[in-house]
Amino acid sequence: MYELLAQVMKFLLIGLIYYFLYNFLKLMVLDLYEERRSSDETDYCLRCEDGREFPIRRVTTIGRAKDSDIVIDDPYLSSKHAMIYRRGKRLIIQDLKSTNGTYINGRRIKKPVALKEKDVITMGSRKFTFLRREARGLERGSDL
């Protein structure tokens, strides 16, 4: 009697264990989905003086190296010059021990600094403006 019960029960228990597991896997998928939706693209971009715009992603590296997200061919830049990354809702810029340094609004940064809109970032001889991407359409409109 007990054996029969246990034999039947084992399928039921395995089923329930997998149902539990399925729910938690679903939670993980939800997590990852949320992470991706809110992560990869940010609403900000860097605008170069010559008018080029570089979108900023969750982690954006800037430098001369070909595998940087923003490749800038300028002899005054280091190959891995700086990095902008997202922490929570903020975007933070960090100088990657570059030779000539990274300047925010004219001040050289040593530690990671949170960026504010319209900050001017100077690296080597290049100046970039940190802008919200929604503002881009408006400004372009005004240029025309």
Partner 1 sequence: MDSREEAIYNRSLAAMALVGFLSFLLLSAYRKPLDFLPFYGAIAFLTVVFVGYFFTGWILANSDKFLLLLSSFLAQLGLIMLCRINPELFKRQVIFFAIGVAFFILVSFFTKYLLRLELAPFFYWVATAALLILPLLFGVEKGGAKNWLVFDGFTFQPSELAKITFAFYLAGALKNGRITSLPRMATEILAVVGLLALSKDLGGAMLFYFTALIVIFVATSRADILAVGGGLSAILGVLGYYLFDHVKVRIEAWLNPWQDVPGRGYQIAQSLFAIAEGGYFGTGLGLGRPDFIPAVATDFIFSAFAEEFGFLGAAAVVLMYFLLVYRGIRIALRLQKNFDILLAVGHTVMFGMQIFTIIGGVIKLIPVTGVTLPFMSYGGSSMVMSFASLGVLNGLWQRALEDEDDDEA
For residues 6 and 20, the answer to whether their CB atoms sit within 8 Å is no
- Least CB distance from residue 25 to partner 1, whole Å? 7
91 DSSP β-pair partners:
86
Of the candidate residues 37, 66, 89, 111, the single one contacting partner 1 (CB under 8 A): 89
Of the candidate residues 51, 75, 88, 141, the single one contacting partner 1 (CB under 8 A): 88
Measure the CA–CA gap between 77 and 63, rounded to whole angstroms.
Answer: 6
97 touches partner 1 (CB under 8 A): no
Measure the CA–CA gap between 56 and 58, rounded to whole angstroms.
Answer: 7
| Residue 31 three-state SS | helix
Give the range of 1-9, 46-54, 75-83, 125-133 binding partner 1 by CB under 8 A: 1-9
Rg of the Cα atoms in the chain: 25
> One symbol per residue from 36 to 75: x for binding partner 1 (CB under 8 A), - otherwise; what is it?
----------------------------------------
